[in-house]
Amino acid sequence: MSGNAKLSVGGRILNRVSGGNLLLLLLRRWDARVALAILTLLALSGIAPGLFVGPLQTATTAEAAPLLPPSGAHLFGTDDLGRDLLNLTVHGARISLVVGALSAVITLLLGGGIGMIAGYRGGRTDALLMRIADTFLILPTFVLALILAPILRELIGDQTEILGIRTTLLTIVAVIGVTSWSSTARIVRSQTLSLRERTFVERARLVGLSPMRIIARHIFPNIRTVLVANGIVVIAGSILTESTLSFIGLGDPFQPSWGTILGNAQSAAAPSLGAWWFIMAPGGAILFTVIACTIVGNAIDELLDRDVRVRR
């Protein structure tokens, strides 16, 4: 526990099991190490794709012949327009990263906030919030996204940008966020319910700490790791949803995502032409990213379990 942040007493909330601690624990597991390496590579690709593969190739800048199989010059082969698939796949990481991260943020803010309030307040507040959560829980994410994506695109317009992110992308993020917060809320609520009965929360109430402060001081720090684990699973889910939407043509047409490339492969009849690499590149990227997220999420869950076992 020596690596903990020092604190000024009575000042800000500082927590013992900090993010750095969790990362160190994760790095002791080989499966989590591999998964974190994949996610780091994804993050780097998303932040600076040009560093690895140069600028994004378009139909006009593509130089190679169409549908070349993987070779030394084109590790992942080329698509039907002669674009390098490695180039497209690396550039596609940004979309997945943005969608995954933003969806997770929305889901955790909504689900975490509502879950903690419902669990701590209890009674009618809890009943009402959980009925709302149940309503969203039964909505099929994908079908809702399918309906909302074109509607929102029509309303806002294709080209509008908010903070440099095209609204079509935000639509996908919003839809994923709206449909996935409820399961997070349920998990957080159940954790909060058990924390609320702990003596240290009772004691905080006794000395007159307000409910909001109790949530900030005692509830949130004790469920933070659960939130992180849940957030990573949400990231995996949103990347899959985004890929599917893009695959059927509801994604952002101006920025290739892995789903868009898969869609292109489909319309170029890559499967029947035997151009397996056209599918392998984006498909493999999706596969490895989702598996990596799931491994990290599960590893955190297991660490939490062990933590609980040690303490009991």
Residues that bind other proteins (CB under 8 A): 1, 4, 6-7, 9-10, 15-17, 198-200, 202-210, 213, 217-218, 221-222, 311
Nearer to other proteins, 7 or 273 (CB): 7
Q: Measure the CA angle with vertex 170, ends 166 and 171; round to 5°.
A: 115
Nearest-CA neighbor of 117 among 241, 234, 256, 216?
216
Nearer to other proteins, 9 or 155 (CB): 9
- Least Cβ distance, residue 131 to other proteins (angstroms): 19
Nearer to other proteins, 153 or 218 (CB): 218
16-21, Cβ contacts within 8 angstroms, sequence gap of 24 or more: 17/224, 17/225
Task: Provide the β-strand partners of residue 78.
Answer: 84
Nearer to other proteins, 152 or 227 (CB): 227
- Least Cβ distance, residue 13 to other proteins (angstroms): 8
- Least Cβ distance, residue 226 to other proteins (angstroms): 13
Both tokens of 120, joined, read 């701590």
Residue tagged 């409820």 (tokens): 182
Backbone angles phi, psi at 53, to 5 degrees: -130, 10
- Least Cβ distance, residue 6 to other proteins (angstroms): 7
Nearest-CA neighbor of 108 among 183, 55, 54?
183
Q: Cβ distance 29 to 36 under 8 Å?
A: no
- Least Cβ distance, residue 26 to other proteins (angstroms): 19
Task: Provide the β-strand partners of residue 161.
Answer: 166
- Least Cβ distance, residue 124 to other proteins (angstroms): 17
Nearer to other proteins, 161 or 202 (CB): 202
Count of positions (residues) in the chain = 312
Nearer to other proteins, 121 or 205 (CB): 205
